[in-house]
Each structure stands twice: as structure tokens, then as C-alpha cells.
């Protein structure tokens, strides 16, 4: 049984249908990378899974249970944590305070303040600094650490590298390897296609709200994903999500 299943999901922004009939599954320990152009629906899809965006059709199943009516706070308690685009830290609070606030609703598990700092050592010197005063890379590390403090079973990461310098991106992804090595299940939105293919076990490409190509990362070529990314040709039979 899949840990996370999305079934025929639709979501709108007013009259605009941002997610169209999307279905996919994620097994425990998988890393699914969602790629696609700006406006393809990736962020709305992650927010819909987390409960932060209301859906208009379809279901979200977690560990076999329909959680479509469960509010965002309830989904966090079940084990779904979202690192949103733009990080959305409590900028007036210190790094330590941001982490500990999330820990107040934590599930039982191996992530706590010390293990988060072990995974993201760049945060140790910053613990007493206001998160609003940090660099972009330090803020992203804080946002991911804050999500880990809830001990999620599924971690939703939206645009990890957005707005970061190449050095900061490398720093954050180096720490993410520790998270992945722990057996984490991750759904990742990443604009860097080469990095997405390297880090993931499976890739799904979105175009105009739909998944138009899906498969094992090891079997995907950059050219094939790029063609789906820009809608240059229809995917091979059986490649698109049902």
C-alpha cells in the first residue's frame, strides 16, 4: 500500500483550474520530484496535499485513509509537513524559536533540535539570531528544519533552490542528503531539472495542471523531460499519470 495517494485531484484559483485530474502515489522512502514550468500547478498541488489549499474534486489518501476533509493542522499531526515556497518563517523570532515552535506539535520520532542541527550544521551558529536576518540559504535550512521538527512521514518541499545562490543551493542539498539517508519520504518541487533527476527516485512532469510524464528517474533523459516540460510532444503511451 502506498503511503501517499492522490486520486483525480482538481484545485482552482477562482476561475483558473490550476490542478486538473492529477493522480499519483508515493511509497515510503521514495523521493518524487515534481517538475514543470512556472504556472504548471506544482505549488498548488503541494498545498492541496498539505491541506493549505482547498480542492474541488478528488481525494488525498494517507496510509490508506481518506484525509481530504482533514485540516492542515490535522495533516501535520498525521505526518505531512510542507516547506512552502518563500519559506514563510516567523522572521521576528530566532532560529531556535522557529524550530521549537514546530516541535510543540511533533509526532514521536527521531527528529528533535539536536538531530536537526546535526543535519543542518550551518544553523548552530545562528540559533539566537532572528530568522529574518539570515541569508537565503540559512532561511531555507531553517524552514526545512522546522518541518522536520514535526517528525513527518512525508515531507513536501516547494522550490528548494528558488532565489538562492549556487553555493547556498549546494549547502542545503548537502544537508538534505542526511534527511534522505534517514529514509525520508519526500515530494519535491525543483526548478533545477538536472538536480531533480539526480536526487529523486521518480519524476513527474506537470503541464497546465496535469501530469503529462511520470517514471523512474533512472529511466528519464533530460531531453524527454524537457519535451514534456514545454509540451513539445505528447508522452509515450503509459507515461502519463492516469
Domain boundaries, the chain: 4-229
The arithmetic mean of pLDDT across residues 167-171, rounded, is 92
User: What is the pLDDT, as a whole number, of residue 242?
Assistant: 33
Residue spans of alpha helices (H) in 104-165: 113-119, 136-148
Tell me how far apart the alpha carbons of residues 117 and 122 are, in angstroms, rounded to a whole number.
Answer: 8
User: What is the pLDDT, as a whole number, of residue 88?
Assistant: 82
Whole-Å CA distances, 193 to 45, 47, 82, 229: 18, 21, 21, 10
Angle between helices 136-148 and 95-103 (to 10 degrees): 20
Q: Would you place residue 234 in the very low, low, confident or very high pLDDT band (cuts 50, 70, 90)?
A: low
Which range has the worst mean pLDDT, 80-84, 226-230, 236-240? 236-240
Our CA angle for 125, 104, 171, nearest 5°, is 35
- The overall average pLDDT reported for the chain is 91
Tell me how far apart the alpha carbons of residues 174 and 185 are, in angstroms, rounded to a whole number.
Answer: 17
In this structure, the chain runs to a length of 242
Provide CATH code, domain 4-229.
3.40.50.300
The arithmetic mean of pLDDT across residues 23-37, rounded, is 96
User: What is the pLDDT, as a whole number, of residue 233?
Assistant: 57
pTM of the model: 0.90
The arithmetic mean of pLDDT across residues 99-121, rounded, is 89
Q: What percent of the chain has pLDDT over 70?
A: 96
Tell me how far apart the alpha carbons of residues 166 and 45 are, in angstroms, rounded to a whole number.
Answer: 26
Q: Would you place residue 116 in the very low, low, confident or very high pLDDT band (cuts 50, 70, 90)?
A: very high
Single out the residue of 86, 11, 91 nearest to residue 45, CA to CA: 11
Q: 3-state DSSP call for residue 9?
A: strand
CB 185 within 8 A of CB 128: no
Amino acid at each position: 500500500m502506498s503511503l501517499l495517494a492522490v486520486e483525480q485531484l482538481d484545485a482552482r484559483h477562482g476561475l483558473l483550474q490550476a490542478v486538473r485530474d492529477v493522480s499519483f502515489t508515493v511509497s515510503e522512502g521514495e523521493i518524487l520530484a515534481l517538475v514543470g514550468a512556472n504556472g504548471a500547478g506544482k505549488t498548488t498541488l503541494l498545498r492541496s496535499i498539505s491541506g493549505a489549499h482547498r480542492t474541488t474534486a478528488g481525494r488525498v489518501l494517507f496510509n490508506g485513509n481518506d484525509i481530504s476533509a482533514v485540516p492542515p493542522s490535522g495533516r501535520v499531526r498525521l505526518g505531512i509537513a510542507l516547506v512552502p515556497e518563500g519559506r514563510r518563517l516567523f522572521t521576528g523570532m530566532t532560529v531556535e524559536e522557529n524550530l521549537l515552535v514546530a516541535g510543540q506539535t511533533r509526532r514521536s520520532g527521531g527528529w528533535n533540535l539536536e538531530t536537526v542541527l546535526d543535519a543542518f550544521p550551518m544553523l548552530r551558529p545562528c540559533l539566537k539570531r532572528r530568522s529574518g536576518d539570515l541569508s537565503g540559504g540559512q532561511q531555507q535550512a531553517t524552514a526545512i528544519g522546522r518541518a522536520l521538527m514535526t517528525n513527518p512521514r512525508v515531507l513536501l518541499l516547494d522550490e528548494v533552490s528558488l532565489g538562492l545562490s549556487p553555493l547556498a543551493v549546494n549547502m542545503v542539498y548537502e544537508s538534505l542528503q542526511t534527511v534522505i539517508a534517514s529514509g525520508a519520504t519526500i515530494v519535491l518541487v525543483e526548478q533545477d531539472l538536472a538536480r531533480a533527476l539526480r536526487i529523486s527516485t521518480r519524476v513527474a512532469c506537470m503541464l497546465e495542471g496535469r501530469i503529462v510524464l511520470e517514471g523512474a528517474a533512472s529511466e528519464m533523459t533530460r531531453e524527454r523531460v524537457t519535451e514534456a516540460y514545454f509540451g513539445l510532444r505528447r508522452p509515450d503511451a503509459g507515461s502519463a499519470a492516469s
